[in-house]
Each structure stands twice: as structure tokens, then as C-alpha cells.
Amino acid sequence: MRPPPGRQQLPREFIARHQRQRIITALAEEAVEKGYRAVTVADIVRRAGIARNTFYENFSSKEDCFLAAQQYAVDESLRRVVEAASSVESWPDRVRAGLASFLRSVATEPALARACFVEALSAGPEAMAGYEESLQAFVPLFRIGRKVSSQGNELPETLEETIVGGIFWIIYQRVVAGETAEIERLLPELIEFSLTPYVGPKAARRTASEPSP
Amino acid sequence: MESASEYPPELSRLPPGRHGLPREFVIHNQHERLIAGLAEAVAEKGFANTTIADITRHAAVSRRTFYEHFNSKDECFVKAYDTVMEQLRERVAEAYQSEDDWPRSIKAGIAAMLGFLASEPNLARLCMVEALVAGPVVVERYDAAIQSLVPYFREGRKGRPRDVLDRLSPTTEEALVGGMVSLVSRRIFAGRTDDLEQLLPDLVEFALTPYLGSAEAAKIARES
């Protein structure tokens, strides 16, 4: 993954972005191994295979780097969720596609997932606020379901927060247990859990049991 | 409803000054004072920024006394966490058992949890927010405490018709509990402890819907 030595014909911007990403990934991987608190800038630098100066050209501190990792992971997974959801028509199908994409992000980036779902909670007030924002970012996507629900106006005001919180908790537990590789198996259950309040159990089951996208 | 703004007995303070109480009682009471001191200090500055000096100042005991009871801030926090959770668990269990039918037991249990947390904002913050901030120190206890609520909900499967049981998944209860705890924690994190009890109907409807269907769940949620 390192740029080939000598020949540096890649655009500067590309290299800069690539470097940032490599540092972020290194932080996440170190955190999986020893827990975020114990990670030092020296650890990150070593794993990323970069100079200490390069780290400080990109980030002011370990904390700054963590927040960037969190931001990157949240933006990226949300972007993929929205992209997957827009590829289908009906709202239940969009929830299904979005959830599938989200679980796939967790499965393919277990270190970043751990940073966002586990380490973020104890990585200081800003990281905690970032966690809150990431949860909140999913709320409007579910809230659309009120428009397709026959009882949209009567649903509890806090329903979406509770649904997203439930999904996050299920994922959190699997991440803590190191079971991210199998996490996509939870898709049907999470679809049913999320859709039932809006469309009722039968329709929720139908969407959940369609073959995987 | 519980009377507000009083610490549970374990966390009550010994009046300052000379009291001539038996030594064993004093030692025991010092222990509880330190725990209450930690809860206050953590509510003020957050777990990460709380020092042992903060704890001893709030508890009005000496640094030496602190070390006679605990080896570290972490140990004191864990003890405080366990004490608060024990209280909370007892309240919930008692409320749950006070009702005969399951949906109303669930409602009573949720009401007891919200009532306790609303009446003790410092302790609510300690066990629902700072426990996560403290991270590795208590995280396993935190996870176990949440999981300990699952059996209350699993009880709801008993005697349900086949079609209802079919649509419940192995993770239904975990997702319900996780979602409810998440919502409650978010309100506490945002400093909105006063609003907690208003969440009762929403949480009851959310929790009962998978078992009873939304119409029946909404009806029980809105009963006064």
C-alpha cells in the first residue's frame, strides 16, 4: 500500500488523502490490539510505516486522529447506506438495502467499526458527541417510514431513536465479542425489528425474507 | 412515584463533626461517603477529569482514608457503579413483581427505572453515561447489567399464539432492551434527566408491540 519509492508521479492530493487514510487505519488497528487508551503516536507511526513528522502534518494529536477516523468511518458508511438505499424504490426495500450496506461496512472494516461502536464511548467528550451524531444521522432515514405507515401519525415520537439504538446495541455486542465476520447474518432480524412498527409484522417478514441484494 | 432528590441509604452522608459512633459504623459509613463523593465529583467533572482529591473533598474525608478503602479511583468507581446498579435492579424487580399480568409488569418495571434515574440525576449519569466513558474499567459490568434486563422481556413469549412466536427473532429482546437503554442514555447525556419520565408511554409501546401488536401495546402504554 505504500507509494513506490523514488517515483512519485501520483498527484499530491491523492498521496495526501491516501496517507491520511493509512494513518487512520493504523490507529484503528492498534486500538483493536491494545485498546485506544494505550495506543501511542509512536505505535500509529510504526504501523502506518510513515515518519513521525508526517503524522503531525496530518493530525495535531492522537485524539485528533481518532476523531478523524470516526468522522471518516461514519461519513463513508452513511454515504454507502444512502447509495444502496437509492438503488431501490419502496421504503421497506430501502431500509433493507441500507441495513445490508451498513452491516457490510462493519464486516469489511472491523477495526474502524470497533473504533466507532466501542472505543468512541470512552475516547473523550468529542468522540462521544460524534457517536451521538452518528446515531442521530440514521434517524431521518427511518422517519420517512411514517409516511408509508397507515398509523404514521400515532407512532411514538421517539421510535426512530429507539430503533437505531437497538440496532447499534446489537452491533456493539457482536463487535465486542469479535463476531463481525458473521454480522451480515443478522440482516433479516434487524430488518424485521426496524420495519414491524411501520408496516406490521407480515409485511416486515416479507421484506426480510427476500433474497439478499 | 419515589420521593425525589434523596440518595439511596447506602449513599447517604454521615453528618460532619464529632459523633461518638462505633468504629465499625464509622468505617462502613466512610466507605459509603466515598462512593457518594465519587458520584458527586464525577457528575461535576466527568470520570476522566475526576481526581482522588475531588472525591475526598466531596466525601469530606482524608486522602489516607480513601486509600484505606480503595486502591484507586477505578476501584472506587466500580464499587459505586455496583452499588447504584444494585439499587436500580431491586427497584425494577420489585415493581415488575407488583403487577400480575406481564404487559403491566413491564410497564411498572420501566416506570421504576425512569423514576429512579429521574430522581437521582448524578447517579443516573454515573451508571448510564460515565460507565461508558470509564471504558474498560466497568464495561463488562455495564454490558451484563443491560443483558440482565433481557429475561423480563423474554417472559413475554409465554402463552403467545404461534404466529406471534414465529415472528419474534432470537435477538428481539436484545434489540428492545438496547434501544430503550440507548434512548434513556441519550437523554441523560444531553442533561435532560427531568424529561425521563415522559418517555414512559413511548418506551412501553415500543417494548410491547412485538408481543401484543401495536394497537394493544399503544392502549396499555396510554393507560394511566
Whether the CB of B150 is below 8 Å from some CB of chain A: the reply is: no
Mean pLDDT of chain B: 88
B187 touches chain A (CB under 8 A): no
- State mean pLDDT over A126-152: 93
**Is residue B145 less than 8 Å (CB to CB) from chain A?**
no
Amino acid at B61: V
CB contact under 8 A, A162 and B201: no
Given a contact cutoff of 8 angstroms between Cβ atoms, the answer to whether B196 and B187 are in contact is yes
Q: What ipTM did this prediction achieve?
A: 0.84
Structure confidence by residue, pLDDT tens digits, A22-65: 999 999 999 999 989 899 999 999 999 999 999 999 999 999 99
Asked if B198 is an interface residue toward chain A (Cβ–Cβ < 8 A), one would say no
CB < 8 Å to A196, chain B: 167, 209-210
The nearest alpha carbon in chain B to A163 belongs to B179
Who's near A159: CB < 8 A, 6+ residues apart?
A: A142, A197, B202, B206
Distance CA A143, CA A156 (A): 11
**How many CB pairs (< 8 A) connect A and B?**
112
A182 touches chain B (CB under 8 A): no
Q: Does A121 touch chain B (CB under 8 A)?
A: yes
Would you state the cell numbers that stand for residue B16, as one nine-digit string?
460532619
Instruction: Supply the DSSP symbol for A124.
Output: -
Helices (H) and strands (E) in chain B, counts: 13, 0
> What pLDDT score does B11 carry?
55
Q: Taking CA B130 as the corner, what is the angle to CA B198 and CA A69, rounded to the nearest 5 degrees?
A: 105
Please name the residues between 48 and 107 in chain A that touch chain B, using a CB distance below 8 Å.
none
**Mean pLDDT for the stretch of residues A92-119:** 95
Report the C-alpha gap between A198 and A159 in whole angstroms.
10
pLDDT at A75: 94
Nearest to A168 among B132, B182, B214 (CB): B182
Instruction: Check CB contact of A157 with chain B, cutoff 8 Å.
Output: yes
Give chain A positions within 8 Å (CB) of B221: 156
What pLDDT is recorded for position A17?
76
Task: Identify the band that residue B166 occupies on the pLDDT scale cut at 50, 70 and 90.
Answer: confident
Spell out which residues of chain B touch residue A186, defining contact as CB-CB under 8 Å: 171
Q: What pLDDT is recorded for position B7?
A: 52
Q: How confident is the model at residue B17 (pLDDT cuts 50, 70, 90)?
A: low
Give the whole-angstrom CA distance, residue A55 versus residue A20: 8
A17-20, long-range: CB < 8 A, 24+ apart: A19/A50, A19/A54, A19/A58, A20/A58, A20/A68
Terminal-to-terminal C-alpha distance of chain A: 31
B15 and chain A in contact, CB less than 8 A: no
- B94: helix, strand or coil: helix
Residue B27 in this model has a pLDDT that exceeds 80: no
Q: Do B136 and A37 touch (CB under 8 A)?
A: yes
Contacts of B165 (CB under 8 A, 6+ apart): B157
User: Residue A158: which of B132, B183, B210 has the nearest Cβ?
Assistant: B183
Cell of A191: 430488518
Cβ atoms of B134 and B80 closer than 8 Å: no
Cell 461502536 belongs to residue: A117
Looking at this protein, which amino acid is placed at residue A154? E
The conformational region for residue B85 under phi > 0 = left, psi -120 to 50 = alpha, else beta, is: alpha
**Is residue B80 over pLDDT 70?**
yes
Q: Which of B47, B186, B197 to mutate to test the interface with A (most CBs of A within 10 A)?
A: B186
Quick one: how far is CA B167 from the chain centroid?
A: 31
Residues of A within 8 A of B202 (CB-CB) are 156-159, 162
Q: Is B117 in contact with B92 (CB distance < 8 Å)?
A: no
pLDDT mean over A126-149: 93
Q: What is the pLDDT of residue B5?
A: 40
pTM score over 0.90? no
Q: What is the 3-state secondary structure (H, E, C) of B162-187?
A: HHHHHHCCCCHHHHHHHHHHHHHHHH
Among B135, B139, B175, whose Cβ lies nearest the Cβ of A170? B175
Looking at residue B96, what is its pLDDT? 97
Give the confidence band of A212 by pLDDT, cuts at 50, 70, 90: low
Quick check: A154 and B202 CB within 8 A? no
Question: pLDDT grade, residue B102 (50/70/90)?
Answer: very high
Q: What is the C-alpha to C-alpha distance for residues A167 and B161, in angstroms, rounded to an integer? A: 26
B131 has a chain A CB within 8 A of its CB:
no
- What pLDDT, in 10s, does the model give residues B183-194? 999 999 899 999
Sign of torsion over alpha carbons A205, A209, A212, A213:
negative
